[in-house]
Structure 1
Amino acid sequence: MWELTQACDLACKHCRADANPERHPDELTTAEGKRLLDDASRFDDGQLVVLSGGDPLAREDAVELVEYGTDAGLRMTLTPSGTASLTRERIETLADAGLRRVALSIDGGSAAAHDAFRKETGSYERTVAAAETARQAGVPLQVNTTVCAETVDELTEIRQVVEDVGAVLWSVFFLVPVGRGRVLDPISPARAERVMEWLWEVADEAPFGVKTTEAPHYRRVAAQRGGNTTGRPTADDIGRRAGITAGDGFAFVSHVGDVYPSGFLPRSVGNVGERSIVDLYRNTDLFESLRSPDSLRGKCGACEFRHLCGGSRSRAFAYSGDPLASDPLCDYVPEEYDGPLPEQSFTDRGSSTAD
């Protein structure tokens, strides 16, 4: 994932980037970005690249970069914001440039709820219109949703919106307290467990796929309920290997070129201006430790599902400063584990069908 810019006209309550309308003067240039895409193509044939932000469409070269990456053999996807930049012409141009998927955020089951969370009147309407334009342009749609105390009661309504807009995948992100998201309340571990059980039922009957972000224990829930217990799931229709976690199958490049295991785990291992993204991913101590489930500590380290799940390394870091510590959102306690439990500094407000 490459964060093209932190510029964005929205001021969403959960924003990891703490975005603002102005672009940073030290953003990677178009030429530097193309070198990054060339480097990324060395990972594997058809490497998946997500252009994110802020609002990636705040950069005039977004379409050029999609086209360049496509010509380099990359599977290019984009996560734009629901702003005035998301025009029909822009979406159609991106489709012509080879865009493989667009991911739009919907955080409320109604315009009022979504716009309040996004702090922008009209955001919901523009997002739904963009989803229809993407469908007409033949670009598969992914819907991203943030789960926190403010949005959890909206999940059943959002699930219907996801179906109505024709999404192929619902990516459900469980809050990590970074950026502006530090002021939001997460849901409790017990509530998160119930939400994941409900998501498993949704995935079984919905016409779209379901994945979680920063909540890999959804895989453990699926395994316990009769799902995949043999290892990581297979790739989806755009080559996104399911089962990735921060630093393991995933790397994040900031707008200025710094490389992190995730945008939610702010510990840099270097800059793409000095070392290639492939080298930084494969040959740095932090990334190597994150790819070793047996290096995990506490409850996660003792868990029999650690090779399938591994917990959110970003959330562990946010709460403890240790990316290898236990994920405090996980409610599961291994049968043979009798050590200390992570601090349960969560709230549990309200109820919903997703309860």
Structure 2
Amino acid sequence: MRGKLDLDRRPLVLIWELTQACELACKHCRADAQPRRHPDELSTAEGKALLDQAREFGEGQLVVLSGGDPLAREDVSELIEYGTGQGLRMTLTPSGTASLTRERLADLDDAGLRRLALSVDGGDRAAHDAFRGEDGSFEATMAAAEAARDLGVPLQINTTVCAETVEQLPAIRDLVDDLGAVLWSVFFLVPVGRGRVLTPIDPDRAERVMSWLHEVSEDAGFGVKTTEAPHYRRVALEESDDDGDFRRRLGIRAGKGFAFVSHTGEVFPSGFLPQSAGSVPDESVVDIYRDSDLFRRLRDDDALTGKCGACEYRAVCGGSRSRAYAATGDPLAADPLCGYEPAGYDGPVPDQHPAD
């Protein structure tokens, strides 16, 4: 599918943030989640209309239901069943709370859930719960992972990389393997929401982590991908003898192969790039993705500026547009996490710390 995907017409991933309500207070939370649901969340009927629109992207469109904690809504199974009936591949990223029971997972499985993504940000209970801000989160997450395995629901593990978690990565890798996950999705911190109080790793450390992730990917029984770190593809291409899989994923980044619908219907290039290009249900998410000025500019590799614009890998990578926006206010600027120097480039090197 990736090799045939026209990113001007269709995203690889469409994320819908069902709600920002969540019981946890995670240090990195992009959504700055709240205890209660927002009164202006998309309703069930409006959500189904959004899924109808998503179907227009084409059969098998991947839709990720996220939050906050999407299980704070009672209509999750209904929405998954509806989307599945529309030919969409429906996946879910719940929080590790008491709501994530075996019975609830069985209900989601019956509705047609294609994959469950759980967050693990520490290699043991103490490290994970401290990062998540809730005692018992690790235990709930492990129980949900076991239930997913018993039900035959494919499991994805998401991990945030920052100064507070980077030393935990080897232990988390072992957990990913032990849990039988099919994919480890590694998120490199973008300082938005509560994540502004966390410390990003520096570009040299990021390069070493990406090189290590590539080594893991060659031997592991699960896939490895990065989020908001597209230069992982450049690292992998430099180190890999078989670059076919990476070539099939060229250029996927915020606004280019990726779109995000907020809990109130605003359409963003990414949940980490809070610049609206329009809103549903008044507008079609298909039209916004394909035709809005913001999305079109983000898909233009030649519109990138600074070091990213000069880089010979810009079509492979293109840098994190979200991190560039967080650091400079310009989504087309250079990604401050990347330490690579394009051949012959003698312009300014971006500050790795976000602007105040």
Name the TM-score class by shorter chain.
over 0.9
1:166 is paired with a residue whose SS is coil
- The amino acid of 1:34's aligned partner reads K
Shift of 1:226: 2.3
**SS, match of residue 159 in structure 2:** strand
SS in structure 1 at match of 2:258: coil
Deviation at 1:244, TM superposition (A): 1.9
* Equivalence for 1:122: 136
Shift, 1:107, TM fit: 0.1
Residue 106 (structure 2) pairs with residue 98 (structure 1): no
Please give the TM-score of this superposition, normalised by the length of structure 2: 0.94
- What code does the residue aligned with 1:158 have? I
Aligned-residue offset at 1:328: 0.3
**Deviation for aligned residue 1:21:** 1.2
Which residue identity is paired with 2:339?
Answer: D
* Other-structure match for 1:219: 233
Which residue is equivalent to 1:353? none
Identity of aligned residues (%): 71
**Cα deviation 1:144-196 (Å, max 9, x = unaligned):** 00000000000000000000111000000000000000000000000000000
The aligned counterpart of 1:285 is 293
1:190-236 deviation per Cα after TM superposition (whole angstroms, max 9, x unaligned): 000000000000000011000000000000000111256579544xx
Q: Paired residue for 1:175?
A: 189
For 1:240-259, what per-residue CA distance to the aligned partner results, in whole angstroms no more than 9, with x for missing partners? x6752100111100000000
Q: Which amino acid aligns with 2:42?
A: L
Distance 1:164 1:313 in 2: 34
- How far apart in 2 are the matches of 1:38 and 1:242? 28
Aligned 8 A contact 1:172 1:210 in 2: yes
Q: How do 1:187-206 and structure 2 match up within 5 A? A: 187-206=201-220
TM-score (norm 1): 0.94
Alignment-derived partner of residue 6 in structure 2 = none
Match of residue 145 from structure 1: 159
1:97 partner letter: A
Structure 1: where are the runs of 5+ without partners?
235-240, 347-355
Structure 2 SS opposite 1:270: coil
**Counterpart residue number, 2:259:** 251
Which of 275, 290, 294 pairs up with 1:267? 275
Give the Å deviation of 1:315: 0.1
1:332 maps to what in 2?
A: 340
Point out 4+ residue stretches in structure 1 off by more than 6 angstroms: none
Q: How many correspondences in the alignment?
A: 340
CA distance in 1, matches of 2:90, 2:246: 23
- Alignment partner, residue 69 of structure 1: 83
The answer to whether residue 144 in structure 2 is matched with residue 136 in structure 1 is no
Rounded to whole Å, the distance in 2 between the matches of 1:193 and 1:115 is: 27
Q: Which residue of 2 aligns with 1:52?
A: 66
**How far is 1:4 from its partner?**
0.2
Counterpart Cα distance in 1 of 2:315 and 2:238: 14
The answer on 1:41 being equivalent to 2:41 is: no
| Aligned partner (choices 62, 67, 84) of residue 98 of structure 2 | 84
Output one character per residue of 1:41-98: Cα deviation in whole Å (capped at 9) or x when no partner.
0001100000000000000000100000000000000000000110000001111111
* Aligned residue in 1 for 2:317: 309
| Alignment-mate amino acid for residue 253 of structure 1 | V
1:244-286 per-position Cα deviation (integer Å, ceiling 9, x unaligned) = 2100111100000000000000000111121100000001011
For residues 244 and 269 of structure 2, what CA distance do their matches in structure 1 show?
Answer: 25
CA distance in 2, matches of 1:230, 1:315: 27
Give the CA RMSD over aligned residues. Answer: 1.3
* Residue pair 1:101, 1:139 contacting (<8 A) in 2 also: yes
Partner SS state of residue 251, structure 1: strand
